[in-house]
Amino acid sequence: MESVEVVELGKTSILTLMLKQILDRNLQDPWKSRVMRNRVLTVRVRSRQMQTTLFFEANRVRAEDGAHGRPDIEIVGDMPVLLSISLGASPVRAVLARRMRVRPMRWKGLAYGLRLMLMMQLAGPPIHLRLLVRRGREKGESP
Amino acid sequence: MTRQPPAAVLREEEKAFLVSLESIVGKEFVASDPATRYIYSQDLTENEPHWPFGVVMPSTAEEVQRIVLEANRFRCPLVPFAYGLNMGGLAIPGQDAVVVDLKRMKSILEVNEEDLYMLVEPGVTFGMIRAHLDEHHPGFRYTYPLAPPQTSALSNALMDGLNNMSMRHGAMSEWLNGLEAVLPTGELVRVGSCAIVDSWHGRAPLPDLAGLFLGWQGATGIVTKGALQIWPAPRVRKRFFLAAYDARTAYRIMLRLCRKDIFDDLACVSWPLGKMLFGARGPLAFCPGEPSLFVYGDLYAESEAHREIKEQIMREALVQARREGGNFEEPMDVDDLIQINPGYAKLAEYPTTLDFLLDYGPGGMTWVGSYGPGSTWAEGVEACSDILDREGFPPILVARPMKGGHFWVLRFILHFERPDPRDRERTRRTLGLIADRLLDLHYIPYKPASWAVEKIRERDRFGVFELMERMKACLDPKGILNPGRWGL
Amino acid sequence: MLEYSEIDPYIAKCVRCGTCKAGVGLHEPSCPAGEHFQFEGYYSSGRIWIARGLKEGVLPWEDGELLKKLFACTLCGNCVQQCPMSVREGMIEVFETLRSEAVERVGTPFAAHRRLKESLIQYRNPWMQPRRRRLQWLRDDEVRILPPDGSVKVEVLYFVGCTAALDPALQHIAQNTVALLKKTGVDFGVLGEEEICCGSVFLRIGERALARDLAEKNLEMFEKLGVTTVVTACAGCFKTLSQDYAAFRDLPVRVVHASEYLLELREAGFLASDQETAVEVTYHDPCHLGRHCGVYDPPRELLKSLPGVQLREMTRNRENAWCCGAGGGVRSAFPDWALQSSRARIEEAQATGSSFLVTTCPFCLQNLTTAAQAENASLQLVDLTFLLARLLL
């Protein structure tokens, strides 16, 4: 799966386009592309009045505007919040600050929630390494 | 597109004029072959082609003078041309004429850091300016449009263009400190301080004769030099991008922010451009619930502390805008957007090439750009977007407040199929409808094509065009320079 | 390889934005023809609009000035590099197709190109040199000359190319290349007098039929000899053999430029040496090797691997490299202009303060050398194989 499939790029909402950009980047990354491989998950993302449904279908990822099917997990947040999470901001902090809501709606949403969060973040070192890096910065080291 | 070609064989007087031009610039810089004439006869817009009977390329102001004097002798019209990329067909001859291609005059003659100006010739492009300042004067900057880098900076100023510092400093005519021009009768004149003293620092306190050349589309003189203001380059820069869900919200946000005097640039693009920036291509459609406009701003500061203060002021202004019922997202950092989508860099560095915009259409592109009051801006956005939607065009809009909000820009861009006469006709009709509506809302088209001039003229209630005619007749009694521009 | 009827999608979209006129980000001139002749018709965008005029039927094919605009282009591809349009990749092919169409309609328009044709017909090379001189570069009796009947098979063929074989001033390229290949122990051969032109120049000047004939013959020869790898030190031959031949039929061989091949061998340990020097060099990217084939790094990596060699880049390098001015049939038809373009490149090279200007194309070297002499340039112009031979053998 090399990129997120959408029906017609020009007729796709900007939320879907933004999510596609983030996921496309990760699907090109050799490490990140394995995160959701062979897994099936339906994700609904809501941002104000826009909705996008992401279909992770084993080796294929699709995105469609609107609410489709029964989502396994729902994410609600403004575009700036989703952007900041894609760039490494803590989803936990965003949830605690009520800037984002993550609602597993079926067992798969719970099971794959962490993987999904990894896919929503742009490719970088694995998360445990990033935690180490962050701890280093807090000690005053330059990035 | 080109209908029937003109006569392959030139008339005797045309040939004689070209021979006289060869004696001025050399044979290699005069051309009258069909291929050359064909290229210079048209541009990317819907404006009708007209073949010049020759093209001449001078390299000095003296050569320009001699060309103009010969043109007077032969009573042959001349059309000044720098790079020809304008959306009004302004470098297409209105009648049989010789095009004066000024590209060889491409020197940056002086950059005065202390007095904050640079002296340039008409063939100097934005790209050349950027390269020159970066290399030799890195502490200074100029201002750039969204047009590609290979366009003339001086033409942009003479035609009252808008650039990325115009929100703060006004339309580009305000950036001119003075100029040198060849009059239609062949005299070489200077206006501004440079006419009196050996300094190009400004136009005041003399009577502002720059107005004889600014906005006239080359009909009153061929400008051979111009002094353009430069500004110190700030140390810190931050760019924001903010999604607004309706035109009135976008307007109120920009209105508040431009009055806070914290941004150098503040502008707005509509949803088609937002989608293009996110990689959408092909037919575009608005999706229910998505933002319709994107406001972006360039915030410059002398230090991080300075930036933080400005950002804080911005956030307070946005809080106020939200309290007033504004429907918009929190601002996003353009550098963050670039990380997920490198295409955003095109709005981040200047000069730039908006390849997605140039590449969008099937080869024809045009616009109606206009200047008008902020008070009718939002209504203009909505009304003209409706017109475009009805006529089958996506509402591609680029807009900004100018000079702190003293006036505003509405610019609607259309793509069309140039070779298709029906599509050209549809485009012209749509442009006309938009221009009418804009004029109703007190917006006047800038760099107007001939068809737009007619509409402007229809609304002339105070004899502006009569005054223009008198001035044109005084300066250009034989009708040598770009006849037909402004209907003169 | 586009037919004239297929160029419409490529010429429809150009809006004459002018981006083809200067290097993106650099804002330095990028188009040798535009910089020299200056009228709009000499830039890529102007040429595309001329194509429209021809298609519309309002421009005459036989007009000398129009033909000049079609042929006064080195086909360097810098415009393709700068152009923002999605159809840019086809632009050079469009220009070659226009030339081919012009030749079909009005004949070969330039006397210099007609002479190239005559030379090919008579001598199987564009240099008016008899075939028997094809091996005059060879000093080493131990290089295997392959008989044309295919009785001797070889996997690696060193394709010398007409320029290095026949220009006495450039024969050192062939000599150094074989010396380097011999040092690596690679089993290779050369065609000797049986080698014929790759057809590059004929493709560029619109003589497609001639080029096709040469391609067929060369490919037939490669198959007969059992060649699996063709190595060439000429950028023009490399581009033609590796890319253009694929338009005629499937390529039965791997074609590799000498810089790539020698880098592979050096990295595998076959060209080790302890020799050191202290010299500053600058590198000129031949258009056929760089922009057309994407080979930028192997020559640089080879240079950097030589102890004491310091590589200094010119301002316009890699994708933005300024053309030497020779290609596309320009050197023969427009020698003054070719020299002027080259002189600009020499000035740029001198500005780096380097002692050597290195390149990987005999034709570039030929044109740049002429310019260096005209400029009284202090730097030495050499092929990459010269430096490698000096320091690795």
The pLDDT score that the predictor gives to residue A123 is: 62
CB contact under 8 Å between B35 and C18, yes or no, is no
Chain C: give the shortest CA distance to residue B386, in Å: 27
Model pLDDT, residue A107? 86
Q: For residue B307, is pLDDT > 90?
A: yes
User: What domain range is A85 assigned to?
Assistant: 9-138
Which residue is closest to B123 within chain C, CA to CA?
Answer: C38
Band (B2; pLDDT cuts 50, 70, 90): low
- State the pLDDT confidence band at B339, using cuts at 50, 70 and 90: confident
Contact criterion met (CB < 8 Å) for C17 and B101: no
Pairing of strands B236-244, B222-229: unpaired
How far is CA B29 from each of CA A62, B52, C38, C131, C336, rounded to the nearest angstrom? 58, 15, 8, 44, 17
For chain C, what is the domain count? 3
**Number of C-beta neighbours around residue B327 at 10 A:** 16
Question: Does one domain contain both C281 and C165?
Answer: no
Q: How many CB atoms lie within 10 A of CB B2?
A: 19
Q: List residues in chain A touching B: CB distance below 8 A.
A: 8-15, 17-18, 20-22, 25, 48-51, 65, 78-80, 83-84, 86-87, 122
Cβ–Cβ below 8 Å for C16 and B40: no
- Put simply, the answer to whether C53 touches B359 (Cβ < 8 Å) is no
> Terminal CA-to-CA distance of chain B, rounded, Å?
26
pLDDT of residue A141: 30
Instruction: List the CATH number of the domain containing A121.
Output: 3.30.1050.10
Contact in structure between B47 and B450 (CB atoms under 8 Å): yes
Each residue of B450-477: pLDDT tens digit?
999 999 999 999 999 999 999 999 999 9
Q: What is the mean pLDDT of residues A121-138?
A: 51
Query: Which CATH code, of 3.40.462.10, 3.40.50.720, 3.40.250.10, 3.10.310.30, is assigned to B237-449?
Result: 3.40.462.10
Pair C28, C101 in one domain: yes
- Supply the pLDDT for residue B5: 63
d(CA B256, CA B148): 30
Instruction: Judge if C81 and C158 occupy the same domain.
Output: no
Task: Count Cβ–Cβ pairs < 8 Å, chain B vs chain C.
Answer: 115
Mean pLDDT in chain A? 82
Same domain, C116 and C249: yes
C290/C156 same-domain check? no
Residues C115, C258 share a domain = yes
Can you give the residue range of the structural domain that contains C31?
A: 4-106
The topology under which CATH files domain B12-102 is: 3.30.43
Asked if the C-beta of C14 comes within 8 angstroms of chain B's C-beta atoms, the answer is yes
Report how far residue C370's alpha carbon sits from residue B430's, in angstroms, rounded to the nearest whole number. 58
* Interior angle at CA B348, CA B82 and CA B293, nearest 5: 100
The pLDDT score that the predictor gives to residue B194 is 97
Per-residue pLDDT band at B373 (split at 50, 70, 90): very high
| Residue contact C15–B36, C-beta within 8 A | no
* Domain identity same for C246 and C328: no
B3 pLDDT above the threshold of 60: no
- Same domain assignment for residues C126 and C98: no
pLDDT tens digits, B218-241: 999 999 999 999 999 999 999 999
Residue of B nearest to C83 (CA): B355
Domain ranges of chain B: 12-102, 108-232, 237-449
B89-140 confidence digits (pLDDT tens) = 999 998 899 999 999 999 999 999 999 999 999 999 999 999 999 999 999 9
Cα distance from B345 to chain A (closest Cα, Å)? 15
Residues C72 and C214 occupy one common structural domain: no
For residue range A35-73, list pLDDT tens digits in order: 888 889 999 999 988 999 999 998 899 999 999 989 999
Give A28's pLDDT tier (boundaries 50, 70, 90).
Answer: confident
Q: Which of A83, A86, A98, A119 to mutate to test the interface with B (most CBs of B within 10 A)?
A: A83
Q: Which of C239, C264, C289 is the last residue of a domain?
A: C264
The string of pLDDT tens digits covering residues C81-106 is 999 999 999 999 999 999 999 999 99
CB atoms within 10 A of CB B197: 9
Nearest to A20 by CA among B275, C67, B43: B275
* Arithmetic mean of pLDDT over chain B: 94
Contact A8 B283 (CB under 8 A): yes
Burial degree of C276 (CB within 10 A; 0-12, 13-18, 19+): exposed
Q: Is residue A116 part of a domain?
A: yes
Of the residues C214, C245, C264, which one is the last residue of a structural domain?
C264
Record: contact B287-A80, CB cut-off 8 A: no
In a domain, A16, yes or no: yes
Q: What is the pLDDT of residues B32-42, one digit of tens each?
A: 999 999 999 99
Type of residue numbered C321 = A
- Confidence category of residue A125, pLDDT binned at 50, 70, 90: low
Task: Indicate yes or no: CB of B282 within 8 angstroms of CB of A9.
Answer: yes
Residue C121, classified by CB atoms within 10 Å of its CB into exposed (0-12), middle (13-18) or buried (19+), is: exposed
Q: What CATH number labels B108-232? A: 3.30.465.10
pLDDT (0 to 100) of residue C256: 97
Sort out which chain B residues have CB atoms less than 8 A from A84's CB and list them.
Answer: 336
Assess: ipTM above 0.90.
yes
Task: For residues C254 and C355, give the distance between their C-alpha atoms in angstroms, rounded to a whole number.
Answer: 35
Q: What is the pLDDT of residue C251?
A: 87
CA distance C296 to C310: 17
Most B CBs within 10 A among A5, A24, A32, A48, hence the mutation to make, goes to A48
* Contact at CB, B278 and A11, closer than 8 angstroms: no
For residue A138, name the pLDDT band (cuts at 50, 70, 90): very low
Contact (CB<8Å) B284/A11: yes
Q: What is the pLDDT of residue B279?
A: 83
pLDDT score at C361: 96
How far is B308 from B356, CA to CA, in rounded Å? 33
* pLDDT band of B8, cuts 50, 70, 90: low
Helix orientation angle between A79-86 and A113-120, rounded to the nearest 10 degrees: 90
Three-state SS for A92? helix
Regarding pTM above 0.90, the answer is yes
Cα B423 to chain centroid distance, Å, stands at: 24
Return the SS3 of B156: helix
Q: Is the predicted pLDDT of residue B417 greater than 80, yes or no?
A: yes
| pLDDT bucket at A92, cuts 50 / 70 / 90 | confident
Q: Does the distance separating the beta carbons of B281 and A14 come in below 8 Å?
A: no
DSSP codes of every residue in A38-62: TEEEEEEEEETTEEEEEEEEES-EE
Of A10, A11, A49, the CB nearest to B289: A49
Number of domains, chain A:
1
pLDDT of B343 reads: 81
Strands C279-284 and C309-311: parallel
- Do the Cβ atoms of B51 and B38 come closer than 8 Å? yes
Show residues of chain C in contact with B150, CB under 8 Å: 17-19, 21-22
**Cβ–Cβ below 8 Å for B127 and C65:** no
C26 or B299, higher pLDDT: B299
CB contact under 8 A, C39 and B31: yes
H or E stretch covering B189: strand B188-192
According to the model, what pLDDT value does residue A142 have? 32
- What residue of A is the nearest CA neighbor of B284? A10
A to B contact (≥3 Cβ pairs closer than 8 Å): yes
C9 touches chain B (CB under 8 A): no
d(CA C78, CA C31): 7
Work out whether the CA dihedral C70, C76, C78, C81 comes out positive or negative. positive
Q: What is the chain A residue with the closest CA to B333? A: A80
DSSP B286: P
Q: How many CB atoms lie within 10 A of CB A40?
A: 13
Please state, in angstroms and as integers, the Cα–Cα distance from residue C98 to each residue in B78, C49, C55, C104, following that order.
Answer: 32, 12, 11, 10
Instruction: Look up residue B217 and give its two tokens.
Output: 């589309």
pLDDT of A133: 42
Whether C contacts B, i.e. 3 or more CB pairs less than 8 A apart, is: yes
- What residues in chain C have per-residue pLDDT under 50? none
Q: Is residue B288 within 8 angstroms of chain A, CB to CB?
A: yes
Do C and A make contact, counting contact as 3+ CB pairs within 8 angstroms? no
Residues 6+ apart with CB under 8 A from C250: none
Interface contact B35, partner A, CB < 8 A: no
A65-69, A106-110, B394-398, range with greatest mean pLDDT: B394-398
Phi, psi of B434 (to 5 degrees): -65, -45
Burial of B477 (0-12, 13-18, 19+ CB in 10 A): exposed
SS3 assignment, position A1? coil
Residues of chain B contacting residue C21, judged by C-beta atoms under 8 Å apart: 150
